[in-house]
Structure formats: C-alpha cells, structure tokens
Copies of this chain bind each other. A is one copy, B any other.
Amino acid sequence: MNFAAGAGFTKGFEIMEATNSLRPFFEPREIVVVGATRTPGFGYGIPIMLQQQGWGDRLYLVNRSGGEMHGMKVFERVADVPGDPDLAISVVPAHAVPEVLSEIGERGITHVIIESAGFAEAGDKGKAIQKEAQTVARKYGLRVMGPNCVGVINTENRFTSVETIEESLSPGNIGIIAQSGVFGTVLVDSLPGRGAMLSKVMTLGNRMDVDECDALEYLHKDPATRVIIMYMEGVGENTRIREVLGKVTRDKPVLILKSGRTSVGRAATASHTGSMSGEDALYDALFAQTGAVRANSLEELVEMARVFATQPLPKGNRLGIITSSGSLSALATDVAVSSGLILPALSQTTVDKVMEKAPLWMSAKNPLDVGPSDQYVKALPLLIKDPGIDMVVAITIVPFSVLQKCRHLGLTAESLYGDIAALHASIPYKPLLICAVGHRDYLDHLAEISGPEVPVIASPETAAVTLAALWRYSIWKKNFEPTV
C-alpha cells in the first residue's frame, strides 16, 4: 500500500479501519437496497421489513426501472442515491452483480451484502461470475458478505437484511454464525420460541470475503453477545480458524455444529468411503485444541445455546439431581456420568434437613427422588445449597391430568416445585436446569414459572449433556485471563 496516495495518511487509515471492520453490516448509517422490486421476493420483502423496523428514513431503493415503490422514490442507479450510505444490500441476479459492485464502489459505499444465489455453488458459470465479482470488490476494497446468504440481524437496533418474525428481533445474548442462509433462518425461527434470544445473526454464504474468522472476531468483541453458535460445513483453506477459535473461546463459548460427514454420505453412495471420516476427526481435534464445544446434533446445539446463554460456569463437575421420577433421573445419570460429571453423596447436613419431615420411603440420595411426596419445594433449595454440589438438574414430572384436575385445590407447578426463578436468582453462581417431559401445555407452564434464566429442557439426556459441556468449557476457560 502506498501511504502517500489517496486522501492522505490519516484519512486513509480511517477508511481502512472502517472498511476492515464489520460494523457497518450491523450498524449502517444509511442503506441502499439494489434490486428492490414490486413483486414478492427478497427485493420486495427487505425494504418493507426495514421500514417496519424503523429504518425507512435511512433507506434508499435502487432499480433500473426508477419510479416509486413502497411509498419511496426509486433511484435508477446507485450513483443517483443521495445521503451517506455505507451499506448496500444487493438482491439483483448473479450475472448483474459485478456491474452493481462497480456502481457501489464508485459511490463510495464500503460494505455490501450479496443475497442472490447462482455463484460458486452453482457450477462453472457461477464460479466465473463470483471470480469477476470478487475482482471488482477487491478493486474498491469492499467488504462483502455472501453471496448466497441472507446477511445479518442485529436485535439491538432492529437492523435486519432478512425478513424475519417479530419475536426473533427481541434482544438477547446469542450470536449466530451460519454459512447457509436457510440454516440461519432455521435457528432464527426456532430459538426465540424456546426463550433463547439473539444478539446478532450472520449468514456467510459463499464467503467471497467475510468468513467465519471475521465473524468470530466480530462477535468476540460484541458486548451484546455472550455465546456464539455456529453451523459449519467446512472451513476450506482457512488456516486462521485455529488461532481465531482459540482466541475467542478464552472469553466466550463457541458452540459448533459441523456437518461434513456429508461427503462421507455422498462417498458412501459410490463404491468407496475411507478417507473422509479422517477429515471429520481433524475437526474433532481442532475443536478440542481450541476449546470450541462441538454439538452432536442440531437439537443439541439449540439446547446447549439455551444453557450457555443463561447459566454460570460451574465450579466443578459435581451434579445434583432432584426428581419426582426415578426413571428420568436414571436416564440423566447415565448420560451425566458417561460425559464426565459425578453425582456425589449429599452432605450430612443436607441429608438431615431433607429427611426431617420426609416420608419413611424417601431417602436422601443423589439423585434425590422425592417421588409423589410434598418434599420437592423444601428439598430443591437444600440440594442446590449443598456445598458439595456444583450444579443441579431438577426433574419435574407430574401427570398433566392431576395438575388440571387439582388446580381448584391450589395444586400448581409453583406449589409443587416452588419459585424456581427466585431460587436461581438467589444462587446465581450454580447452574440450574429444569427437565420435564410430558404435555406441551405443562412444559409451557413450567417455562413461565422458571423464568427466562432457567431453561426447561425436554430431555433428561440432553439436560445432562449440556451441563457436562458447560463444565468442560469451564475447565478450558480457567486457563486464561479474560481479554474482553
């Protein structure tokens, strides 16, 4: 780089800083949507979505047809757009993208989200178009997200480059990085409904420029993001991933779901399998060496996100289980123990207090099975306060019919289990999960009384898996001082 060229050293440096940062993707000054349309599709939905979220006064629409659309003037060319936009969202067909990027670069816009498909993922012709687009982008120093993605969501300022449901825009602390736009949407549609609110979402698509390392670094520094979840199909030639993952996990957990045994699946349809599973083992090693937490299924990723987003790191691996179902606690125990947790005996003080008014058939073991007694409300706080216990799974099972029929007698989930939200608030340094299986209305009710900080997990095995992951991450993190 020639420091003497361009707008002088200081100005050049500022531009470089701004250009290198991903901030304008999430906090644009003003936005241009190139390829706005009157008919359904991205070019139709995105302008309306932005207007609805309060971005109408910082929005410009571009379409060769000009005229008016969604109550706004439509500019024929990016060059005609007034104001001070720093972000363009391009939804024009792939073949038109290189030219549009030139216009964007000439206009001085620094950041572009390319949402259209038909690039490197779509054969040789698409590959050629992507290469051409990349050349233009580099010429102007553009930061590009995509192509073949849906861009970003920032719940803090309700900026979104993708149509989404209102509840997904409620601020939270989970950051999502997805290569695929559809997969990002899957998470955005399903997480908030389970009480897991989002901070930022990035879908990377073909990663022409912005890749998972950039995304990780951005969310690393993002104060709104407490936990990063990531869907990965492969990092290609990316040699930075090891360094970046290792850096981010010192401060924030990174939960990763990786497919890529896909290629094993495809290879298996041919005659030979062999080598590709070795590749997957390399990812296992990468994650282990960098402190990233690997989820074994989409469901596990989602549940881990809920737990990491709400629970403190445990001080040790000593799990206490309280239950009204011996069967469910047995299932949770199996998985907890095979995942590295232990279930120590309760302290004598806890045992004595638990048994004070307990029926004869009860015994204060771990798991602590209170059966159909009325001892749950009293025993749960005793268990979580036991100095030998680092975290608790509270399995809350009651026949739904009993709750329905005895509501008039004052029997409610609160009367059975106590004020779970308040209990967690009073001992915020020990992870606490509710586990229940049963009628959907019952689970909804439990979620209500447990509050936003205590996840209700609908599987005893998953409850144990998530806490074991939380503990393993705590061990990793203990090695480092915080950097953010």
Given the contacts A118-B361, A262-B338, A297-B461, A439 and B165 also touching, CB distance less than 8 Å: yes
Instruction: Tell me whether A399 and B331 are in contact (CB under 8 A).
Output: no
Checking B123, B330, B406, B440 against A268 with a beta-carbon cut-off of 8 angstroms, the contacting residue is B330
For the complex, is A437 an interface residue (Cβ under 8 Å from B)?
yes
Closest chain B residue, CB of each to CB of A458? B299
Contacts of A162 in B (CB 8 A): 399
Contacts of A190 in B (CB 8 A): 437-439
CA A360 – CA B180 in complex, angstroms?
19
Instruction: Tell me whether B439 and A330 are in contact (CB under 8 A).
Output: no
Closest chain B residue, CB of each to CB of A361? B122
Instruction: Tell me whether B299 and A268 are in contact (CB under 8 A).
Output: no
Instruction: Tell me whether A333 and B122 are in contact (CB under 8 A).
Output: no
Q: Which of A118, A264, A271 has the most CB of B within 10 A?
A: A264
Contacts of A337 in B (CB 8 A): 261-262, 264-265, 268
Instruction: Tell me whether A438 and B186 are in contact (CB under 8 A).
Output: yes
CA A365 – CA B266 in complex, angstroms?
10
Contacts of A262 in B (CB 8 A): 329-330, 333-334, 337-338
For the complex, is A53 an interface residue (Cβ under 8 Å from B)?
no
Instruction: Tell me whether B165 and A404 are in contact (CB under 8 A).
Output: yes
CA A474 – CA B178 in complex, angstroms?
38
For the complex, is A246 an interface residue (Cβ under 8 Å from B)?
no
Instruction: Tell me whether B330 and A461 are in contact (CB under 8 A).
Output: no
Closest chain B residue, CB of each to CB of A192? B439
CA A344 – CA B439 in complex, angstroms?
39
Instruction: Tell me whether B186 and A397 are in contact (CB under 8 A).
Output: yes
Given contacts A180-B327, A264-B338, A272-B330, 13 further A-B contacts (CB under 8 A): A45-B401, A121-B361, A182-B324, A189-B400, A189-B438, A259-B330, A260-B330, A261-B333, A262-B334, A265-B330, A266-B333, A271-B369, A298-B437
- The residues of A with any CB-CB pair to B shorter than 8 Å are 40, 45, 117-118, 121-123, 125-126, 162-165, 178-180, 182-183, 185-186, 188-190, 193, 231, 233, 257, 259-262, 264-266, 268-269, 271-273, 297-299, 324-331, 333-334, 336-338, 342-345, 360-361, 363, 365-367, 369, 371-372, 397, 399-402, 404-406, 409, 411, 437-440, 442, 458-462
